Chains A and B, each alone.
Chain A
Amino acid sequence: MSASAAPAPAVVAAHQRRDRREVLAAMALAGPAGALILLFLIGPLICIALLSLTDYQLGAKTMRLVGLTNYVEMFGDRVFRRSLENTLIYVAVVVPLSVGLGLAAALLIEAGTSLRAFYRTVYFLPVMATLIAMAIVWEFALHPTLGPVNVMLQAIGFSRVDWLQDRNVVLYTLAGIGIWQSVGFNMVLFMAGLQSIPKDLYEAASVDGVSNGWDRFRTVTWPMLGPVSLFVIVITAIRSFQVFDTVQVMTKGGPNRASEVLLYTMYSEGFEFFRTGYAAAVTMVFLAFVLTIAVLKTWLLDRRVHYA
């Protein structure tokens, strides 16, 4: 058959048969997943947006549309404002330290050859360990009188700190645990980024007279790590916005709301007081932050941080 001739009818029919077969197969294969996406993702997202405009309480027989009442009440509520503020402080503390320490660990580990596997394993351990179990361990370690942290502080002449009961300290204690938990994760992402930097770039730099370590970092490593760094910052920020486990088990948002965070507010309004509509509005704020960060990342990646 020549290329310019129309395909024979039998070939067309065979193609149509194949196409139909493919469509049917696709329905069978992608259908269940598609249906579940509607049920557990798209449906709930629409619901949460609509619920935030109602006065629904779980178990109630009726509900009314109340417009933006929940949002007005929320932004006027001292507890919510405190919760939002605390969450932002938590994120602002955890992100730079966790990313910075993760980068430092990756650079230091990759800078030499001895004990690399050991350090990598140790730093990654908290990422694996069940956070709730470790939160309970931390709670004991930070115990005002029995905990080794305070015992040690006293032994070297400092006074005790009420890590979880002092409302000027508690949020930073939780941030510290958040950093402890996430450094290893960021370290591994940075290590992957470092390993993908072509070796000849370093050779080229040394031909150009870049000799000391800091200049090498400034002219080659850091620019090449740009996209990875943005990525790590975004992931850490999104994960930090989701802080919940440590708060729920260690402080219940206290003392006096000093460690109240968005997801904890959502949880207690929605699942302890069953003020579903109000909790939905809190969820929308949480979601807005998470989505903004994600969109910002895409936008930045498209515009600026392209080196490779």
Chain B
Amino acid sequence: MIGRQLGPIAGALRHIALMTGAIVILSPFVWMVLTSFKPQSEIMAADLRLLPERWAIIQNYTEVWTRVPMARFLLNGLIVTCAIFALQVLVNLPCAYALAKLRFRGRNALFLVVLLGLLIPLHATAIPIYILFHYLGILNTYAALIFPFMISVFGIFMLRQFFMTVPDDLIDAARMDGVSEIGIVWRIMLPTAIPAVTAFGIFSVVAHWNDYFWPLIAVGTKDLYTPPLGIAFFRLNDGGTDYGVLMAAATIVILPLVVAFLMAQRRFIEGVTFTGLKG
């Protein structure tokens, strides 16, 4: 807190300002949900009535699943985000350990490249990766959605900073007991790093569930669409003017992360703001 307690007038002004902001920020969410309850006729009436006269909630929310393969989109989102995170841990955690705790030639050079990599957004490397995948013949596959993100210089950086704080004694003791370096990474380092891995996981899942740019480029068949592509497709082709159903689809797409966020706010805020380290 900054200094002392506010007086009653200052306290009221604080609430007025913050509440105004909160209303502006929440209104699109509220309008989305309320519209998803309304039948098309009431939406076309274009009034500011909040609640519908005739509730179309069941109709709108069932139509989403039948008009587009929404379940498939959500499943794709789940597959892609989980696969990306699992591979990221598999590839980047050992590297972070090596950078933090092992001495080898090229260590400083590798770390320098990691730091440089932090500055490069994926948008800058998208064209060459697209060409590479084109010639490998893996565009339009799950692999295309997942592979570019296997490496996360951000994950390496973050986990390396964490491993720097782990005492060497712990590692030396394990070596004395004859544990291999691989064993040290997975049986000793991974368990101690669970908080850092969790934070990184939240950052990773949020970033890739919401990502639109790369999936838009990498896949072109409906079967592989992730939720953001799916809803953009729905708007463009079928549901563009059927606002009740479209808003129901939007609600379904943002719901998993919003619910997870509301349940574990502190962790989410930590995880997502780790991106603050980027750039």
* B95 and A33 within 8 A (CB): yes
- Give A21 to B25 CA distance when docked, in angstroms: 56
Within the complex, the shortest CB–CB distance from A270 to chain B, in Å, comes to: 5
- The reply to whether the CB of A107 lies closer than 8 angstroms to some CB of chain B is yes
- The reply to whether the CB of A123 lies closer than 8 angstroms to some CB of chain B is yes
- The reply to whether the CB of A36 lies closer than 8 angstroms to some CB of chain B is yes
The binding surface of chain A is classed by DSSP as helix
Contact residues on A (Cβ < 8 Å of other chain), bracket: 35 or more
CB contact between A125 and one of B26, B43, B126, B156 (< 8 Å): that residue: B26
* B127 and A107 within 8 A (CB): no
* A30 and B250 within 8 A (CB): no
- Give A260 to B259 CA distance when docked, in angstroms: 34
Mark out the residues of chain B between 1 and 60 whose CB falls within 8 Å of any chain A CB in the assembled complex.
Answer: 1-3, 6, 10-11, 14-15, 17-18, 21-22, 24-29, 31-32, 35, 43-44, 46-48
B114 cross-chain contacts in A, Cβ below 8 A: 37
Within the complex, the shortest CB–CB distance from A76 to chain B, in Å, comes to: 22
With A26-B104, A111-B6 given, is the CB distance from A48 to B151 under 8 Å?
A: no
The binding surface of chain B is classed by DSSP as helix
With A146-B44, A183-B25 given, is the CB distance from A37 to B153 under 8 Å?
A: yes
CB contact between A244 and one of B26, B209, B213, B250 (< 8 Å): that residue: B213
- Give A139 to B3 CA distance when docked, in angstroms: 43
Contact residues on B (Cβ < 8 Å of other chain), bracket: 35 or more
With A125-B26, A141-B31 given, is the CB distance from A231 to B276 under 8 Å?
A: yes
Task: Name B residues whose Cβ lies closer than 8 Å to a Cβ of A.
Answer: 1-3, 6, 10-11, 14-15, 17-18, 21-22, 24-29, 31-32, 35, 43-44, 46-48, 91-92, 94-95, 97-99, 102-105, 107, 110, 113-114, 117, 119-121, 123-132, 134, 147-148, 150-151, 153, 156, 180-182, 185, 206, 209-210, 212-213, 216-217, 227-228, 231-232, 235, 243, 246-247, 249-250, 253-254, 257-258, 261-262, 265, 268-269, 272-273, 275-276, 278-279
- Besides A25-B98, A26-B107, 20 other CB < 8 A contacts? A37-B117, A37-B151, A40-B150, A41-B125, A48-B125, A104-B17, A114-B11, A120-B265, A124-B265, A128-B257, A130-B227, A130-B228, A131-B228, A146-B46, A194-B2, A242-B123, A249-B232, A263-B213, A270-B126, A294-B119
Task: Name A residues whose Cβ lies closer than 8 Å to a Cβ of B.
Answer: 19, 21-23, 25-30, 32-34, 36-37, 39-45, 47-48, 51, 58, 101, 104-105, 107-115, 117-134, 136-138, 140-141, 145-146, 148, 151-152, 155, 180, 183-185, 188-189, 192, 194, 202, 206, 213, 216-217, 221, 231-232, 234-235, 238-239, 242, 244-245, 248-249, 263, 266-267, 270-271, 276, 279-280, 283, 286-287, 290-291, 293-294
